[in-house]
Amino acid sequence: MNNQNPIGIFDSGLGGLTVVKAIRNVLPSESIMYFGDTARVPYGNKSPELIKEYSQQIADFLLERGAKIIVVACNTATALALGTLQDKLDIPIIGVVRPGVESALKLTQNNRIGVIGTISTISSGVYETELKNSNHSINVTSTPCPLFVPLAEEGWLNEPATKLIAEKYLEPINKANIDTLILGCTHYPLLTKVIQEVVSSKIKLVDSAQAMAFETKELLVNYRLHNNQNKKGDLKLFVSDLPAKFETVASRFLGEKISNVEKIQLGRV
């Protein structure tokens, strides 16, 4: 595998761009290829079988296009499909759950951690399992917040309605005496302000994008796959629907002009 090959990153839609942004900051000379499955988003309320099928199709596509490693930026896909992908593919694949878990374990002082995510991620119990595997005395309170995804997509980051919904969803979190809350969904970092307003100011929020970028760097170094070129890496974006809309949102998200988003249809929609 050539070191100049791109890192493949995927998400069910646009949320994984938080990971793209963090990786571009930490590893500026790496080229990135991103796939956002905009035709089939959301994954968060779909069956494990379908999430595995979609994730496999995307991983195969990224592999065909020369990805040297794959970063699963979607929490739901990581929760349901990472193990299968790691078993089947020959290149290193990492997911967004582990870095979030490690950051939370470093931050907590009272060993009480909260997790919020999509219905599929929370029902999979992946965060709870990983946290308890690392430290069996950790107490975990998890709750799904499904409406946070459409609210973030709609750009309703500070609306009164968003705050009301957050208050309702985060009731169990507020009662659980946690000191650390994992934002276990790509979209939730966009709602950090409202989430922090609703939970106690003493609760530290964990956004895994930054931790994911450092883990990606470590992986590339370990496998001697890092790109030492002296120029900024390329960024190529693919989506399964509405490329023009994605260009606008991605430009806003990444703070740079994005104009080459390509539409690719994978399997059934």
Instruction: List active site positions.
Output: 74, 185
The residue among 183 and 225 lying less far from ligand DGL, judged by its C-beta, is 183
CB of 15 to ligand DGL, least distance (A): 5
Tell me the residue number closest to ligand DGL, measured at CB.
44
The residue among 30 and 37 lying less far from ligand DGL, judged by its C-beta, is 37
> Contacts for 89-95 with beta carbons within 8 Å, 24 or more apart?
89/59, 89/63, 91/1, 91/63, 91/67, 92/219, 92/223, 92/225, 93/59, 93/69, 94/69, 94/70, 94/212, 94/215, 94/216, 94/219, 95/71
The residue among 1 and 147 lying less far from ligand DGL, judged by its C-beta, is 147
Q: Across the beta sheet with 93-95, what order do the strands follow? A: 93-95, 69-72, 7-11, 32-36, 235-239, 262-263
CB of 4 to ligand DGL, least distance (A): 29
The residue among 102 and 207 lying less far from ligand DGL, judged by its C-beta, is 207
For residues 262 and 269, what is the distance between their CA atoms, to the nearest angstrom? Answer: 17
| Phi (first) and psi of residue 105, to 5 degrees | -65, -35
CB of 74 to ligand DGL, least distance (A): 4
The DSSP code sequence of 127-171 is: HHHHHHHH-TT-EEEEEE-TTHHHHHHHT-SS-HHHHHHHHHHTH
CB of 126 to ligand DGL, least distance (A): 11
Interface contacts to ligand DGL, rule CB under 6 A: 11-13, 15, 41-44, 74-76, 117-118, 121, 149, 185-187
